[in-house]
Amino acid sequence: MRLLRNEPLKKHTSFRIGGPADYFCIPRNMAELKDALVFARERGLGTVIIGAGTNLLVLDQGFRGVVVKLAGGLNWIRVNGGRIEVGAGVHIAKLLQVLGNKKLGGLEFLAGIPGTVGGAIVMNAGAWGKEIADYVEQVLVIDRAGRQKILKRRVLGFGYRRSRLQGSRWILAQVVLKLRKKKRGLIRRKVRENLIKRKAAQPLGIPNCGSVFKNPKGDFAGRLIQEAGCKGMRIGDAQVSAKHANFIVNLGDARARDVIKLMTSVQKKVKDRFKIRLEPEIKIMVKSPS
């Protein structure tokens, strides 16, 4: 296990924002993940687990403890018929490529989501009316002491952009998915269609963290933000995207404090106009453990 000291976390988030972590590592396998957790536990250090850092805002002060990044490690994919074992660090794009080659369909709606499988499960990622939870059979988790456990889908408490794994003592290491056979051409065509739709609607070429707010029931956060006159609003180098109002982009040197101020301002304007309080979808990493 290789531990880095004072590693800038902005290098590891799609937002390109955030201060340093006291300790940082990318475990290559389960043994190194356990080592990192034991290292933190023995020294009384807080631990944060991140995937590809695509739905994450790191504070300007960074993190006082150990940050473990799963993307780049834990990246196995094992296919046995329609049952697929996937390491939490596997990028969604890689998984979709493998599934397409194996003629296994169902997850094409994830195309263009720039994260890891682990992050997608914990957040119950979805698009176009579908969610990854519908394809989960079970997960393998590990706690801060290095103990492993298998959890079936029924106990994971999946809901809209949430699961019981969020904020729990369990760290997702592997998921078992159940998929069905589908023609390779149909899979690839649907993936292309979804990628084209995302490219047309979202600011993919500028650093951002994906959707900032959850969609309120029966409506869309982007519509509410746009109708409240927030499109293009800017604080420092943080700006509400002119392409999609539920995205905040980093124009070059945005700080976490700028993003948080901008989010607060957007929430206030939407609340004043529609009497609806937008709930953040983005996760904010606190600077030290509670």
Q: What is each CA distance from 264 to 212, 233, 279, in whole angstroms?
A: 11, 12, 11
Structure-block tokens of residue 150: 């298998």
- Give catalytic residues, as residue numbers: 161, 211, 281
Structure-block tokens of residue 83: 């049952």
* Angle made by CA atoms 97, 99, 100, in degrees to the nearest 5: 65
Q: How far apart are CA 246 and CA 158, in angstroms?
A: 23
- 138, 152 Cβ separation under 8 angstroms: yes
Secondary structure letter of residue 281 according to DSSP? -
State whether residue 177 is helix, strand or coil.
strand
State phi, psi for 57 to the nearest 5 degrees.
Answer: -115, 115
